[in-house]
Structure 1
Amino acid sequence: MTATNFEANRARVIGIAADLFAQNGYHGTGMAELGQAAGLGRGALYHYIGSKEAVLYAISKEQVDKMNSYAEELLDQELDAEELLRQMARGLLRNIAEHRAEWAVFFREYTALTGEGRDHVVAARERYESYWRRALDSGRRAGVLRPTPRLLVKGILGMLNYTYLWFEPAGGLTPDEVADMFLDALIEGIRA
């Protein structure tokens, strides 16, 4: 089996696990249930994922890592603060719309991680929050945004993150339109 086949099969199993964990919870989903849904015996299942916690780690970290990479790319573009915030919000909502199950698992279940796995996920989440703080600080330095309390980043991200509960991609609004509505309200509230 080539590395490409292994990775494709592993990604398929992790995707199935994300759906099951989102529906039934991490603790409410057994390995036998995951193996049955993936069409794999116990040995093959463990070959692809290692352990149930390893799957939770992969689900929890992948999307946060993607968002960190996206934020880093945006920060390198030296966009003005408002455009930077808008692009960060749009990217996050697009990702949530495309990966609702993974985000549901992340928000509800990452605390079940232990040791280094939990530390890595928490550090990745904190790094993402720091990029939002940098975007807000750049607006303050440019004189276009008022100084904002540090807690505001958590509020902004909470507003955006909770769309995983209700946003329907087939609904009347696109992720970009929802992000723009939220950002318009936010920016008007903190404009200098």
Structure 2
Amino acid sequence: MPAAAPSGMGRRRAAAKDDGTAAYAERQAEIKTAAADLFKKEGFRGTSIGRIAKALGIDRATLYYYVGSKEELFDDVVSGAVRANVQVAERILEGAGSAPEKIFLLVKSLMDSYAEHYPFLYVFIQENLSHVGERRSDWSREMRELNKRYVDIVEQLIRVGIAEGTIRAVGEPWVMAYGLIGMVGWTNRWFNPEQSSADAVTVGVTFARMLISGIAVLPDLDAPPTVPARRHRAAKR
């Protein structure tokens, strides 16, 4: 159960947000960065609001002027990122291009999002949304719905690709969808945009090419040629 903010602090915090000063926004960004680092190192449940304040070198009362609780801070960042990811996936689904091209864009965009919101989305992946407090039940429900929507979009892309003859049905579409998402999500175990020798674009493009090479019938993306050697030689004659 998160600690209650001091009396009247919520009103002061809301007023400060409404004012929208650059200094206030900058301080909030610093707090999010410090909290994210602790969430990654010590886990969401292992991080207290007091621990975040200590890392910043301020007291809890000062911290409450900027955030109501660690849950509020975490949920606010994650909600915006997850909603944005679903919106991007929907645009890709409805846009022009073949299924392999769309899957390429989707994988790359998801990896970009992991880097942009590092490490909040990675901590979110590790969260058990079925075991959150009552105060976060509405948030948890929305996140589960958004997660389901994202999986449905990937599955739909795969089904469209199979129907149009650009994707090989190497298994059930829903299994392929979870495999694709799981492959990118597993980067939470090793990818750090501040330390990795490969940036998010490199990782995303590499993963997309690996995936499409395994499932595409005729990949037409910016990747090494995949036409069988005999057909390629025949074309030169």
What's the secondary structure of 2:127's corresponding residue? helix
Q: Is the 8 A contact 2:83 2:146 kept in 1?
A: yes
Q: Which residue of 2 aligns with 1:153?
A: 177
Q: Which residue of 1 aligns with 2:189?
A: 165
Task: Indicate the percent of aligned positions where both proteins have the same amino acid.
Answer: 27
Q: Which residue of 2 aligns with 1:19?
A: 37
Distance in 2 between residues matched to 1:172 and 1:47, nearest whole Å: 38
Q: Is the 8 A contact 1:59 1:105 kept in 2?
A: no
Q: Which residue of 2 aligns with 1:3?
A: 20
**Residue 185 (structure 1) shift:** 3.0
Distance in 1 between residues matched to 2:99 and 2:209, nearest whole Å: 13
Distance in 2 between residues matched to 1:126 and 1:14, nearest whole Å: 27
Distance in 2 between residues matched to 1:85 and 1:165, nearest whole Å: 23
Equivalent position to 2:141, from 97, 119, 143: 119
Equivalent AA in structure 1 for residue 182 of structure 2: G
Larger radius of gyration: 2
Q: Which residue of 2 aligns with 1:79?
A: 97
**Residue 8 (structure 1) shift:** 4.3
- Cα distance 1:172–1:16, how it changes in 2: closer, same or farther (>3 A)? closer
- Cα distance 1:38–1:174, how it changes in 2: closer, same or farther (>3 A)? closer
User: Would you say 1:41 and 2:59 are equivalent positions?
Assistant: yes
**Residue 24 (structure 1) shift:** 0.9
**Residue 166 (structure 1) shift:** 1.6
Distance in 2 between residues matched to 1:162 and 1:46, nearest whole Å: 34
TM-score by length of 2: 0.70
User: Would you say 1:140 and 2:171 are equivalent positions?
Assistant: no
- List per-residue Cα deviations over 1:28-70 (Å, max 9, x = no partner): 2121111222344323322332222222322432322221222
Q: Which residue of 2 aligns with 1:61?
A: 79
Q: Unmatched 5+ residue regions in structure 2?
A: 1-15, 218-237
Q: Is the 8 A contact 1:25 1:109 kept in 2?
A: no
Q: Unmatched 5+ residue regions in structure 1?
A: none
- Cα distance 1:127–1:8, how it changes in 2: closer, same or farther (>3 A)? farther
Distance in 2 between residues matched to 1:158 and 1:94, nearest whole Å: 15
Q: Alignment RMSD, CA only?
A: 2.5
**Residue 7 (structure 1) shift:** 4.4
What's the secondary structure of 1:162's corresponding residue? helix
Equivalent position to 1:95, from 110, 113, 125: 113
**Residue 110 (structure 1) shift:** 5.1
Distance in 1 between residues matched to 2:26 and 2:163, nearest whole Å: 45
Q: Is the 8 A contact 2:36 2:119 kept in 1?
A: yes
Q: Is the 8 A contact 1:90 1:179 kept in 2?
A: yes
